[in-house]
Amino acid sequence: MGGAARLTLGLLYPREMNLYGDRGNLLALRRRAERRGVDLAVNAIGLDGESTSLIATCSGFLIGGGQDLDQLAVADDLVSRKGPALAEAVAAGAPLLAVCAGYQLLGTHYLAADGTRIPGLGLLPLSTVAGGSRLVGNLMVTAAPELELEQPLLVGFENHSGRTLLEPGLPALGRVVRGRGNDGDSGCEGARLGTVIGTYLHGPLLPKNPSLADWWLFTAGAHAGVTVDRQPLDDSLEEAARHEAIAVTLAGSRQRGYRLLGRERPLRRTG
């Protein structure tokens, strides 16, 4: 991209933590950065010890989902080897977006169904315990207003057996509109603290929720001292995908629109 501004994304455990189309989040960020005049480089940060040194060079981070065995495989490396550098980067303002199992690994621990206690990084004051059934289906969440997202209604798909419990005072990413969220009962989904966001929304998350992708880019730019163009983009394709996801979630209803924060918006179907 010639003389374009440059950000570097740290992709944590891309081989082990990449279920449910999580790689789509990377592709969406790359394309969105390009449209905003930024070259987004990617550092793959895996189980090898050498990649730990790459953390300090990153503007922000992504970690995706994985099964219990995948979590167990990366947990020790994440906590003992990558953890200190990652915590330092986040404390300095680097964004970290964690999805599903990656979200669980940011808490204190995950208690698996067989009683195995998988240690977490402790960046978010929460814990997760395996439930007796899976929480599966389309998920709609109204993001907290503090995030100042252009489109606060987030859409995606959840598929998890874990019940995540937030400690008092830890804000959720948002409130569940449709679906189950953190534990199926609280009405809360995800968690956020500083520049860290964890969520069960995937499928993948960012292509259908460009406002959240922009949150990552703007936060990474601020951390790295890089100017990211904040002008509105033509998001007609992204919005079509988002509205289709909303329509599918609301399937069975004859309603042709939904009300969000007092504004009526049509549901546009594609195809």
Inter-CA distances, 42 with 95, 128, 230, Å = 14, 30, 22
Q: What's residue 18's pLDDT?
A: 87
In our burial notation (b when 16+ CB lie closer than 10 A, e otherwise), range 197-213 reads: bbbbbbbbbbbbbbbbb
139-188 pLDDT per residue, tens: 999 999 999 999 999 999 999 999 999 999 999 999 999 999 999 999 99
Instruction: Clarify whether 100 is annotated catalytic.
Output: yes
Q: What's residue 3's pLDDT?
A: 64
Delimit the domains of the chain by residue range. Answer: 5-266
Report residue 82: phi and psi, to 5°.
Answer: -90, -25
Q: Single out the catalytic residue among 58, 160, 188, 202.
A: 202
Counting as low any pLDDT under 70, the low residues of the chain are: 1-3, 252-271
Supply the pTM of this predicted model. 0.90
Q: Single out the catalytic residue among 58, 100, 109, 188.
A: 100
Q: What's residue 103's pLDDT?
A: 97
Chain Cα centroid distance, residue 25: 8
Q: What's residue 14's pLDDT?
A: 93
CB contact at 8 A, 118 and 124: no
Q: What's residue 253's pLDDT?
A: 34
Residue closest to 249 by CA, chosen among 159, 137, 99, 153: 137
Q: What's residue 259's pLDDT?
A: 41
Cis preceding linkage at 204, omega within 30 = yes
Q: What is the DSSP letter of 171?
A: P
Instruction: Clarify whether 223 is annotated catalytic.
Output: no
CATH code of the domain made up of 5-266: 3.40.50.880
